[in-house]
Structure 1
Amino acid sequence: MNLASIAAELAAHPSILGKLDIAASTAALRLSARTTGQPGDDAAAIPRPEGGWDLLAGEGFMPQFVQDDPWFAGWCGVMVNLSDIAAMGGRATALLDTIWAPDAAAANALLTGLRDAAAAYDVPIVGGHTNLRSRELNLSVSVTGRAQRLISSFSAEPGDVLIAAVDHRGEYRPRFDNWCAALDAPHARLRGDYELLPELAESGLVDAGKDISQGGIVGTALMLAECSRCGFDIDLSAVPVPPSVDLVRWLRSFPSFGFLLSVRPARVAEVCALFAARDISAAAIGRATTKPAVDLIFGGERATFWDYAASPYLSLSKEIAYA
């Protein structure tokens, strides 16, 4: 295993580089982590006067993905938004969809995927926007939720243990690095799996983490590190991988149920056991450091995947404020 080549290959992959677009938008909007809602987290968190938090998140989808697999894109429109809410320690309350299509027939598979996933996860679609005069099929979905205690991208601390919790009971969808473990799962299990995240937050076991999004384990670790102003050493030998899946592809994959949690060492065993009780793989794959970078480690060797001090990624830490 050539660790330096793996780190360079991952850092140059489009799924990793795509997150750089976030910094351009937030700079134009003059947003930082100090802005209301704390951009950089998986969902905007707005404090409620009576306690707790209102949560708001949204996802837009790659046009090619929507056009190649419209039913699954509709399903993902629900699923990835619910993951963002769960990643914050919250419970989703409602969804809104925005679709573009040439006509009603072309929109049908997309809408069916949205409807099927909303029913599976038992979260209502309450409205949105429809355009049936577009040249191409496309989709965005937003979600609201609530949390009593937050899991935040800004709360990791040096010395934490990095846990990867991922449902391995799935397979890749064609052409993309999307690992789906949801379509054949009982609906009650899907709902119960997401319930575990707010339970971890409310029990005080977890206060820092993110859902594993486009960019996979390494890209998500980088976002978590930069927001928290820490680093992570990821031990590739400790990363559980589903059978017959290539490790490098897995490190950049977008799982249907996957979270990185930065956990105080004394709580690691209990956190992993709670995921294991639901047959979800959860393993300690690294440590939080004081270095402003994500490093990959294997067999005594080390290679830097990304140094965010030298090359900012999201540019949304609390120490950064736009003039």
Structure 2
Amino acid sequence: MSWLQTLVHSIRESKGLAHKKDIAIAMDELASAQPCDSSCRVGDDCAVLKSADGSFLLFAIEGFMNEFVQEDPWFAGYCGVMVNVSDIAAMGGRATAVVDAVWTADSWQLKRVLQGMAAASARYRVPIVGGHTNARNKQAQLAVSIIGSANAVLSSFDAKPGDVLMSVIDLRGSYHGAGNNWNASTDSPAERLRADLELLPQVAEGGLAVACKDISMAGALGTTLMMLECSACGAEIWPAAFPRPQEVSVERWMQTFPSFGFVFSVPPTCVERMKQLFGSRDLRCEPVGHVIEGSMVWVNHESERELLWDFSGTPLLGCSQLNHATDVVGEAHACGSI
């Protein structure tokens, strides 16, 4: 196989993307349970409800693999806050508060999880206001939920053919342990972390992007796939164009979870403004492809082109049928988050 064919195979078979496929089960089984009208769109990073004052209330939740919590309880707790804050930011919002549900086998493990959460809470200035605690379980488990607010919403459902795909990733970090977690948070200045996240509401309120998703454990390509499926679009993508540390291979980077990383669908007229906005804080925001009509997502490298995904034959999240329910954010913009 060629280099690009090998990359495509590794993404399709990746553990991070496999976990996202499980969302399709929830889409099917809970379809009748959605307490929303026809404007409901499921598949965003947060659920969104319109407030009486015209702003938007954001809800999200993240659960963590048991082995991650067991092996690295402090970092799991830290990530519990960090990834939720990123979900809120990806929607153009600002975080308000979190609650947690944590089970561990002993009090030492419980303390380590909570210490990690407390450290992230202080750094991001997002209070922990409640939760569920149990130190008498057979194994470690953690879920963290967050609320936030937004004046303008960035959705996964609004990418359009002709848009430029862009990505911003904080490269001022290093891998945490032996896995693919790129940590640009725990040792960074807290003021910088908060100011960097504030750029996302500025993007939403300034109309610089029409769609956004934070890069999850599915990696940069997997996350872009999820956004494209929600928008019922295809794309041409250049994996090597994503902002990347020079010492890290493209193959590993495409399956990396960055502590600060987002993909956007951007009108061509706003590309330079996006570069300038993030560049003002020493963050690289680069074009990585463009949105096209249809269901096929292609990846490119030099003169080679390979099909990464075709949603018409292989749905990923199973949410594309919910697209275009409304052209504007209604009373219930999205009733589920992923």
Partner secondary structure for residue 242 of structure 1: coil
2:99 to 96, 100, 109: 96
C-alpha distance in 2 between matches for 1:237 and 1:250:
9
* Amino acid aligned to 2:28: A
Deviation, structure 1 residue 122: 0.3
1:1-323 matches, within 5 Å, as: 2-30=3-31, 38-319=41-322
**Which residues of structure 2 form unaligned runs of 5+?**
326-338
Q: 1:195 to 1:74 in 2, by over 3 A?
A: same
> CA–CA distance in 1 between the matches of 2:124 and 2:233?
34
Deviation at 1:290, TM superposition (A): 0.8
Cα RMSD of the aligned pairs, angstroms, is 1.7
Shift of 1:37: 5.6
- Distance in 2, matches of 1:101 and 1:2, equals 43
1:34 is displaced (CA, Å) by: 6.9
Q: Is the 8 A contact 2:168 2:243 kept in 1?
A: no
- Alpha-carbon distance, 1:175 to partner: 3.0
Q: Deviations over 1:41-83 (max 9, x none)?
A: 0000011122011000000001111111111101100000000
Taking every aligned residue pair, what percent have the same amino acid on both sides? 45
* 8 A Cα contact 1:152 1:208, kept in partner: yes
Contact 1:37 1:45 in 2 (8 A): no
Letter of the structure 1 residue corresponding to residue 18 of structure 2: L
* Cα distance in structure 2, aligned partners of 1:26 and 1:239: 30
Structure 1 position 251, deviation (Å): 0.8
SS in 2 for 1:278: coil
TM-fit CA distance, 1:306: 1.4
Partners of 2:131 and 2:101 lie apart in 1 by 5
Mean Cα displacement is larger for which, 303-312 or 71-80? 303-312
Q: Does the 8 Å CA contact 1:36/1:46 hold for their aligned counterparts?
A: no
Distance 1:98 1:35 in 2: 32
SS at match of 2:264: strand
SS class of match (1:244): coil
Higher RCO, Cα 8 Å, sep 6+: 2
Residue by residue over 1:75-110, the C-alpha shift from the partner in whole angstroms, topping out at 9 and shown as x without a partner, is: 100000000000000000000011001222221111
Contact kept in structure 2, 1:37 and 1:44, CA below 8 Å? no
User: Do the aligned partners of 1:221 and 1:232 also contact (CA within 8 Å) in 2?
Assistant: no
Question: Could you say if the C-alpha distance between residues 174 and 197 of structure 1 is closer, same or farther in structure 2, counting changes exceeding 3 Å?
Answer: same
Stretches of structure 1 lacking an aligned partner (at least 5 in a row): none
- CA deviations over 1:238-276 (Å, ceiling 9, x no partner): 223202111111011110000001000000010111111
Q: Deviations over 1:262-321 (max 9, x none)?
A: 000000010111111111121001000113122110112111111111100001124479
Moved more, 203-212 or 30-39: 30-39
For residue 129 of structure 1, what is the amino acid of its counterpart?
A: H
Q: Distance in 1 between matches of 2:81 and 2:146?
A: 8
Alpha-carbon distance in 2 for matches of 1:257, 1:282: 12
8 Å Cα contact 1:169-1:181 kept in structure 2: yes
CA–CA distance in 2 between the matches of 1:41 and 1:215? 15
How many pairs align? 321
Task: State whether residues 177 and 254 of structure 1, in contact with CA within 8 Å, keep that contact through their aligned partners in structure 2.
Answer: yes
Cα deviation for residue 137 of structure 1 reads 1.3
